[in-house]
Amino acid sequence: MAISADIPTWFLRSSLEDAFDAAKATNPVTALRTKLRALETAARQTIAQGSLASVSANGRSQTYALPGAGVITPMQTASALRTLIDDFDRVKAFLTACAKYGLDAESVEENGWPDSSSLVEVMPAPAAITDQAVFNWMMERLQAVSEVQSDYTHLRA
């Protein structure tokens, strides 16, 4: 999953959980992607309204400071929601393709796709992948990075 460096993982995870809970709470239940898009639209409209830097009247003025470090801006909120929507689309397509060919998604993620000549459709039109399945997959993988190691084993001649 693509995660922007300036958006904390906790914010992405909580935004995804909030959207999922809100989608489930509607009657009838709203699709998770639809809820994420509605939140993204609201965030973009907030940005489009501009911001207030200072005001003055009757000889008095007030200046407002820009958001400081550690404050998530409306632009970052919109970016986070777009990240979640793009990831939702990728995960849903990936899980659907795995179901179509009868492949274990965990195994494909770990080892990559098998040779395309060996793929045989077992479900030409797999049942729709549920929002719950996509949500669970995304939450399992939205984890903060604490360390990175290089792996050059596949580069040996």
Q: Render pLDDT for 53-104 as a digit per residue (tens, 0 to 9).
A: 667 778 887 776 666 666 777 888 889 999 999 999 999 999 999 999 999 9
The angle subtended at Cα 128 by Cα 127 and Cα 130, nearest 5°, is 125
Q: Render pLDDT for 96-147 as a digit per residue (tens, 0 to 9).
A: 999 999 999 999 999 999 988 888 888 777 777 899 999 999 999 988 877 8
The structural domains of the chain, with segments of one domain joined by +, span 9-49+63-155
Distance CA 57, CA 9 (A): 42
Q: Kindly state the average pLDDT of the residues 22-35.
A: 90
Kindly tell me the burial class for residue 81, based on how many C-beta atoms sit within 10 Å of its own C-beta (0-12, 13-18, 19 or more). buried
The closest alpha carbon to 75, from 66, 86, 62, belongs to 66
Can you give the pLDDT at residue 138? 95
The answer on pLDDT for 45 being more than 80 is yes
Distance CA 117, CA 122 (A): 14
Q: How much is the pTM?
A: 0.73
